[in-house]
Structure 1
Amino acid sequence: MKPIWIVDDDESIRWVLEKALARENLVTRSFSSARDAMLALQTDTPQVLVSDIRMPGASGLDLLQTIKTKHPGIPVIIITAFSDLDSAVSAFQGGAFEYLAKPFDLEKAVELIRRALEESLREASVEQTSADTPEILGQAPAMQDVFRAIGRLSQSNVTVLITGESGSGKELVARALHKHSPRSSQAFVALNTAAIPKDLLESELFGHERGAFTGAQAMRRGRFEQAEGGTLFLDEIGDMPLELQTRLLRVLSDGHFYRVGGHQPMKADVRVIAATHQNLEHRVREGLFREDLYHRLNVIRLRLPSLRERSEDIPILARHFLAQSARQLGVEAKRLSPQSMQFLSTLELPGNVRQLENLCNWITVMAPGQTVEIKDMPRELLEESHISLAQPTGSIARVSTDMTLNNALESGASSSSGIPLHTPAGDALQWLNLLETEAVRMLESDQSDVMDVLGRQFEATVIRMALRHTHGRKNDAAVRLGIGRNTITRKIQELGIGGSSEED
């Protein structure tokens, strides 16, 4: 941890704060002028800066402006006399962490510095996580569309709504949008609205004043203030309570908000990126999400494909996660045999990229040997895939896209998208046997339009499953089926397929 810098031309103030912080085992570095601190900033930085507002030469506000320009994540506490209070508050309200009015209570001053220190360490941790996060990996056409969208948005501050299944990497996309935006030098702050209890979410977003509620012993900045000048990522926005949706709408509309228990409007210069795995249109129709907020968030919509839509990316992702896991544990990276890699590439992985990453972590820790075979995979994964542990590698069932599609015609257990999660090779032939049986029955009954009837049933079933899989998006369904948009539209009309009115 870096030292806490104390900048004050009054030696007694410096001495008192140095001794008080030393008792808390906190390292300090003192300066008698703002100019000296500015010179030191050229080669070093503090964890927290405490500065007087009035000093000979450059003022504390000059120092504040300098440090916020070069190092916006460092909290700055301004010491001010009561006579300077109004001008100080109006001048540094958007930049300083807090002010300390003279004469101050030493215990409260230490408490304030500790809060600033916690804030600094938390933001430093977020920045380190962001720096360690690799660029998004993917070679599949669906991911190339995402990359192109990020590129087009690189110079924009527009609000973006990212949709996609859980674990598909929505936060990575949000970080990439921030990294390549004009706000990249400022903070990226993420908040999962579904992970915060309803009673605490308002304070988490907007902060609170001291005494605003039981337990609010000190003022606290919310995520909007933490993200000032930068980007605020609101994950799982579809789970936000209705009353908070109203407050969020006001911030997006006029750029102002109030802390909980506060009466002073705070200006928010923040770019909002929201994400959800839910269908917000359905939430709006059900009265669970405000329609006006939906339109405020849905300025630019970016759909992130599921991993099963880009299965060709699984090998490169798996190798990356195995190498990453090995680095974290300080061991040699495991390698997947060709059969194991093919096996992974055929799995549905409903948890998407997150599930694949967890699986690679498990392999790094639990799999024996450096080359991982199918039999070394987690037992529950093999059992769900109907693979016998005693089965030789060469006879392992290879699940193809066609087999998955064929099983969609059966009435078996299926995922939320209507496509079975795991399909054994033996069962894959079951629908063909049923088809043969039905064809024989129709032929023996001297029916003359067997091909037409069965063909229409086959086409209608496949198109229905494709539309269900793509949540009604005709263009996506056509791409998945390998047919044109006009063709699928005509087939839907000819076959009388219902529930397909949703447009792309």
Structure 2
Amino acid sequence: MTKPETVWIVDDDKSIRWVVEKALQKAKMQTMTFANTKELLSALQHDTPDALLTDIRMPGMDGFELLDRVQKNYPGLPVIIMTAHSDLESAVSAFHGGAFEYLPKPFDINEVVELAHRACTHSRRQQESQKEASALESPPEIIGAAPAMQEVFRAIGRLARSNITVLINGESGTGKELVAKALHKHSPRSKNPFIALNMAAIPKDLMESELFGHEKGAFTGAQARRAGRFEQANGGTLFLDEIGDMPAELQTRLLRVLADGEFYPVGAHLSIKVDVRIIAATHQNLEALVEQGRFREDLFHRLNVIRIHIPPLRDRKQDIPLLLRHFLAQAAQELNTEVKTLRPDAESYLSDLDWPGNVRQLENCCRWLTVMASGREIHLHDLPPELLNKPHERETESGNWETMLRSWIDRQLMTKEHEVAKQTIPAVETILIKAALNHTHGKRHEAAILLGYGRNTLTRKIKELGIEE
């Protein structure tokens, strides 16, 4: 038999305690009430509830101090803050302190019951997750059921026992570093270092020192010897992200290291020999850079031994629902809050977007929703404004016109437009009639047959809709 949900209530106002307790008991929850935080903290030493409701303004220790104490000593216990002082500062302080939810007084008692139930559910899910953690496998490194991603998985599998150089190609945000880490993890070098360096993020005058290290006194500010990324990655894997941004002079030095397996740190007279596997990545077309003289052809061929292409998210939209659920669960764990779920219309809308920032943009969106969506379920109106206002970038010839029309209607309804049907139906009829007339070179009789109208009906609609032929 399932154990009843337990909620403890702390408030110096006896009437509030009584009202909340009776409502929760009516909802089949077990309760305990406390007039002050001292009594509560004493009780917590012997038992813990599924959730806690506390007022802010109380004699002695206030609700914020209690919240801080609970966060430190009982981190899995959700705390709902109740207050008659419903100002911005109180709300921000509550959420900043780790509150599960903020409830201004006077409140709807049904809302209290619903919040308490949500908090209890969240608490129990956390407890179950902790119990099962040792039996669970680690979360998937890369998620994707689309055929293009299955090709990526197959490539990683084939390279599992190899030390061969790999070039990863894909747009920004597609997960190139995740693929590089997976290649390293499943390689013979997995117990040795994985060192990543983004060439686009380092000033050109520091790149040489970053890659190859320097000796003390090699240049102004070099107060001690420093090992470069090649030396740090010895025996393991060096991931060079955005390799297309590497300056020409550094390309020459990299080519020599790949050929000889040794290099000279800046200011050094003795070479260092290393055994490093190189995985490079870029969002650029390296062949085009070679043709333009901006990337060495011989270095390109050294790097382009095995190439893995990661598809953009718009080309694997069937993976978006999987990724949404994964990132919402991950964000909830990071932020120590309940896992939020998407309503079908919201999931459909997000799955239909092109996501120019790819998986990274989708992940950031899930973090935003975890923080900003007010309820446990995410509705269409909860989505970030920039996603709701952004026009969809699709090729209409290959798109699903019903989905596109549904998305357009959803946006009209969300903007609180009135009489949407009266606006939409004439607009659709106008498009249909114009297309039919264009197709028949203005011959109304043929256009009427194509549309399934009588000739007189078509003539009347052309007049009513103000269509110019």
**Common fold by TM > 0.5:** yes
Q: Tell me what 2:221 maps to.
A: 215
Q: Tell me what 1:197 maps to.
A: 203
Q: Does 1:262 align with 2:262?
A: no
Partner Cα separation in structure 1 for residue 428 and residue 232 of structure 2 = 54
Say whether the 8 Å CA contact 2:242–2:281 is kept in structure 1: yes
Could you list the runs of 5+ residues in structure 1 that have no partner in the other structure?
1-130, 387-398, 409-419, 447-504
Q: Tell me what 2:159 maps to.
A: 153
Q: Tell me what 1:352 maps to.
A: 358
Q: Given the alignment, which residue of 374, 378, 387 partners 1:368?
A: 374
Q: Deviations over 1:26-53 (max 9, x none)?
A: xxxxxxxxxxxxxxxxxxxxxxxxxxxx
When residues 407 and 442 of structure 1 are mapped into structure 2, their CA distance, relative to the original with a 3 A threshold, is farther
Aligned to 1:328, what secondary structure does the other structure show?
helix
Partner Cα separation in structure 2 for residue 133 and residue 194 of structure 1 = 29
What is the one-letter code of the residue matched to 2:440?
A: V
Q: Which has the larger radius of gyration?
A: 2
Q: How does the TM-score come out when normalised to structure 1?
A: 0.54
The alpha carbon displacement at 1:405 in A equals 3.4
Q: Tell me what 2:48 maps to.
A: none
When residues 432 and 214 of structure 1 are mapped into structure 2, their CA distance, relative to the original with a 3 A threshold, is farther
Aligned to 1:319, what secondary structure does the other structure show?
helix
What is the one-letter code of the residue matched to 1:244?
A: L
Q: Tell me what 2:396 maps to.
A: 403
When residues 402 and 192 of structure 1 are mapped into structure 2, their CA distance, relative to the original with a 3 A threshold, is closer
Partner Cα separation in structure 1 for residue 210 and residue 430 of structure 2 = 54
Aligned to 1:189, what secondary structure does the other structure show?
strand
User: What is the total number of aligned residue pairs between the two structures?
Assistant: 290
Q: CA RMSD in A?
A: 2.9
Aligned to 2:308, what secondary structure does the other structure show?
strand
Aligned to 1:194, what secondary structure does the other structure show?
helix
Q: Deviations over 1:146-195 (max 9, x none)?
A: 10000000011110000011000000000000000010010000000000
Partner Cα separation in structure 1 for residue 316 and residue 170 of structure 2 = 13
Say whether the 8 Å CA contact 2:313–2:358 is kept in structure 1: yes
Partner Cα separation in structure 1 for residue 276 and residue 248 of structure 2 = 21
What is the one-letter code of the residue matched to 2:154?
A: R
Q: Does 1:184 align with 2:184?
A: no
What is the one-letter code of the residue matched to 2:226?
A: R
Aligned to 2:197, what secondary structure does the other structure show?
strand
Partner Cα separation in structure 2 for residue 428 and residue 407 of structure 1 = 16
Partner Cα separation in structure 2 for residue 252 and residue 385 of structure 1 = 46
Q: How does the TM-score come out when normalised to structure 2?
A: 0.58
Aligned to 1:354, what secondary structure does the other structure show?
helix
Could you list the runs of 5+ residues in structure 2 that have no partner in the other structure?
1-136, 410-423, 447-469
Partner Cα separation in structure 1 for residue 279 and residue 408 of structure 2 = 41
Q: Does 1:165 align with 2:180?
A: no
Q: Does 1:439 align with 2:439?
A: yes
Q: Tell me what 2:5 maps to.
A: none
Say whether the 8 Å CA contact 1:237–1:276 is kept in structure 2: yes
Q: Deviations over 1:249-301 (max 9, x none)?
A: 11111111110111111112000000000011111111111111111100000
Q: Does 1:277 align with 2:283?
A: yes
The alpha carbon displacement at 1:348 in A equals 0.3
Say whether the 8 Å CA contact 2:199–2:243 is kept in structure 1: yes
Partner Cα separation in structure 2 for residue 183 and residue 363 of structure 1 = 38
Aligned to 1:441, what secondary structure does the other structure show?
coil
Partner Cα separation in structure 2 for residue 152 and residue 429 of structure 1 = 55
The alpha carbon displacement at 1:438 in A equals 3.8
Give the share of equivalent positions with the same residue, in percent. Answer: 62
Q: Tell me what 1:14 maps to.
A: none
The alpha carbon displacement at 1:440 in A equals 2.8
